Structure 1
């Protein structure tokens, strides 16, 4: 009897009319690190100008792990907050050649002196994240400070792979990142964002945001210099590379980005001239963005399996460090047009599921925590009525809208905490995805149901907490005691319960 009960603990099923869930807490995969989002671009405006009440509401939605009187979470409990370290295009105003002031960013370094009052709006939410107990913070650069670039701007030349940086300024650059990382006590710093894009001016001579490309050899050279500075300074901040613009650039050595691809082996294979795996300040993590690799489904899965194969070969962890919906995704869903509803939430949940289960990501981050755009790029939106966009109408105050995508991410981020291990889980229901996680005290199962409603009869003696995001629910709490678990149509539901000892 004792042997049978032990087996029952590690392989449990729920079933009703043929639907069945199985999971095995002793078959484990990656150790989870974090779920995050970034403070680009709207936070600079929202954090500086918006009423305190609205800023606090945004912070609660993003960071809180508290529940209301009914047991429903007040927020999605992010465990990583990404802070954009600006290059100084804001101070240049229109001379920055960046079209929108929303896409420019201030710099902490001006005329050789540090001004820690800069980026005030972003600092509000960085401090809020820390107050809510978010365990990890990461500072990332789109461009080096303008006084260190070749062209004196925070945008690239437009030439593929040409790093907009004056190499004679490398000591100033490493000192800058050391000072900023030390001041804000960043857990991590990511010096290069989407190195495969050129970030140059369009036909009008203007660009959309701060940014610069960089090739693998320059990235390795600069990272070695930075790691040396970090080691000399004895700071605890860790370096994360390379924030690849697409996941295929991590694994494919013969893509359309020569000298900027095959990045897993370029940076972490000992035989490579760009090897960085021996640097004590560099985290053994490869990071990349899930853009343009999520549709159709065979590409979604094969790309992520290829990433997983390579990280295993090179003893690495993988972070999916930025995603929102861009492009037309093989006709499945378009990036244009705000959607606060379940269609986008379900698509995003499918991507999260694939990144966690096929690529075995240990960290997963969304792009814009707050957006004013008529685009599927935000978790929270800020509009004045029908007036959408990064404009003066939304700059100083606007209404807040929480999206189903926010709460769908919360089905993962709120319950899958740092240190949990992913476990084997399966469901024999069509149109359903499932993944499982445990910390040896609690089991968390996340079900993504793109199909019709169904029920699971609870066959175990334990109480099960359920949290449902659907067309009319946002992480709504219900305790399944002596009945059934309802899985609504077009929903994401998290099941949480404790081990029996």
Structure 2
């Protein structure tokens, strides 16, 4: 009996020892090695931003000061708290909606949701009331106080006094502009006067966008219309841009015109409509609609990433087409509106998606727009909207729970806010994206479900690296930076699904060491040497 026990014990010990040896000898997974050369630069970064539609008016005008100031801090602040954690996401652009006057029309506007109606400065007698849009103006003032570098004005519709049907949306589905043919100059003079007014108040708009998503018909059943809007065909866009360029010159304004705010990225280079192939139409050398010679028009096309976010292969293919077309015609590219309007963010799953799932998907779209489409600016729609912060946070950075009249309420941070912040807070205007090399040689499509990495430089002796770990297990990252001293260190900010980990400051580390990326996380490394 004892002999059997001893024999069994011996065999067990040998087996355990052999197993342990096998485990000990099993090689550890190699880290993802990223090679960086600060001299290998891609596009310059202009800004990261968001828009305040539609709820900036109520918040800025009515909500208690403590609440609205905290919302502004979350969006605009670049400061850190006592523990070194960011107080906000440091946006470098803020989009302001120049209203068409549908609020004044009330129910006669035909727009059902009162919060989607927008006040207008122009009155029916031709005079201007500069006391309008006080809530939105409050956010402009906050943006300036926090040092936001770019104020951007845009209009969804001309003033209702100038539209063909006297409404802020179309009632005839002909895909033509709602602006009366004899009011082009009046419309652009109106825009110039608004810009002049704000400039006199110390709020200078660097950019103006007179056309928004021209491909949609923007029609609606009276009383059920969703918002202000107008379609535009390419010749109509060219006409309004030419007129606006003249108006800006007459008012001696330096504001630049951005266009065409394409409703989908594919309209920039393809599609078949009166508002398609817009890069070729507006910047083609032999195009009758060429706008590149106008003094207020930068060599830049602007589009929206909506509805081009389903499936990694399609996401990358569309953005590669944008980059190739823009490069061929010598123009830059901005992504100026995105939220998860379609169901691509579900990535084939059913049921609700967690706030972290949404934040990771948002970070992926930002990454692909920057690294594949070469976007030099990236802006989110919308900064805040009614909703909950825990699941399917597809439309907003900050979830609002307002009272019935939108004069007060509660608000909540989402993971989307901090996902954008991983870029906006640290990648400042004038920095450049860097070209990188991965030791696993994964394509943008293959990396989209694993680890995505991008890097940026601009300030002396400083690099920023953003890493998105899409996987459910921790991953190791190793950086190899050309001509960096061995003693270079980094600060690490991490967002995970944990409620208290929102760009949380982790311990400082050395570049020569491997960096652990938590499961399903976003990490920004600020490298100093």
- Structure 1 equivalent of residue 304 of structure 2: 289
Report how far residue 215 of structure 1 moved.
0.2
For residues 193 and 426 of structure 2, the distance between their equivalents in structure 1, rounded to whole angstroms, comes to 34
- Structure 2 equivalent of residue 194 of structure 1: 213
- Structure 2 equivalent of residue 323 of structure 1: 338
- Structure 1 equivalent of residue 201 of structure 2: none
For residues 299 and 508 of structure 2, the distance between their equivalents in structure 1, rounded to whole angstroms, comes to 41
- Structure 1 equivalent of residue 17 of structure 2: none
Residue from 97, 103, 108 that aligns with 1:90: 103
The answer to whether the Cα contact below 8 Å between 2:269 and 2:277 also exists between their aligned partners in 1 is yes
For residues 292 and 42 of structure 2, the distance between their equivalents in structure 1, rounded to whole angstroms, comes to 22
- Structure 1 equivalent of residue 326 of structure 2: 311
SS at match of 1:56: helix
Distance 1:154 1:457, change over 3 A: closer
- Structure 2 equivalent of residue 447 of structure 1: 467
1:480 aligns with 2:508: yes
The answer to whether the Cα contact below 8 Å between 1:65 and 1:77 also exists between their aligned partners in 2 is yes
- Structure 2 equivalent of residue 182 of structure 1: 196
Residue from 415, 418, 421 that aligns with 1:410: 421
For residues 155 and 67 of structure 1, the distance between their equivalents in structure 2, rounded to whole angstroms, comes to 44
1:494 aligns with 2:516: no
For residues 367 and 139 of structure 1, the distance between their equivalents in structure 2, rounded to whole angstroms, comes to 14
Structure 2, unaligned runs of 5 or more: 1-27, 199-203, 441-446, 481-485
Structure 1-normalised TM-score? 0.90
The answer to whether the Cα contact below 8 Å between 1:407 and 1:475 also exists between their aligned partners in 2 is yes
The answer to whether the Cα contact below 8 Å between 1:109 and 1:115 also exists between their aligned partners in 2 is yes
Equivalences for residues 42-441 of structure 1 within 5 A: 42-110=55-123, 111-184=125-198, 185-202=204-221, 206-252=224-270, 255-256=271-272, 258-329=273-344, 332=347, 341-373=355-387, 376-383=394-401, 392-393=403-404, 395-428=406-439, 431-441=450-460
For residues 354 and 60 of structure 2, the distance between their equivalents in structure 1, rounded to whole angstroms, comes to 22
The answer to whether the Cα contact below 8 Å between 1:293 and 1:299 also exists between their aligned partners in 2 is yes
The answer to whether the Cα contact below 8 Å between 2:490 and 2:526 also exists between their aligned partners in 1 is yes
Kindly provide the CA deviation profile for residues 269-290 of structure 1, in whole angstroms up to 9, marking residues without a partner as x: 1211111000001121100000
Quote the RMSD (CA, aligned, Å): 2.1
Higher strand share: 1
Distance 1:132 1:330, change over 3 A: closer
1:470 aligns with 2:496: yes
The answer to whether the Cα contact below 8 Å between 1:326 and 1:334 also exists between their aligned partners in 2 is no
**Rg larger in structure:** 2
Kindly provide the CA deviation profile for residues 276-311 of structure 1, in whole angstroms up to 9, marking residues without a partner as x: 000001121100000011111111011111111111
Kindly provide the CA deviation profile for residues 206-233 of structure 1, in whole angstroms up to 9, marking residues without a partner as x: 3100000000001101110110121222
SS at match of 1:283: coil
For residues 335 and 173 of structure 1, the distance between their equivalents in structure 2, rounded to whole angstroms, comes to 46
Kindly provide the CA deviation profile for residues 127-178 of structure 1, in whole angstroms up to 9, marking residues without a partner as x: 0000000010010000000000000000013414211011212222121111
Structure 1, unaligned runs of 5 or more: 1-14, 385-391
For residues 422 and 18 of structure 1, the distance between their equivalents in structure 2, rounded to whole angstroms, comes to 23
Further displaced range: 204-213 or 103-112: 204-213
Kindly provide the CA deviation profile for residues 79-133 of structure 1, in whole angstroms up to 9, marking residues without a partner as x: 0000010000000010000010010100011121111111111111110000000
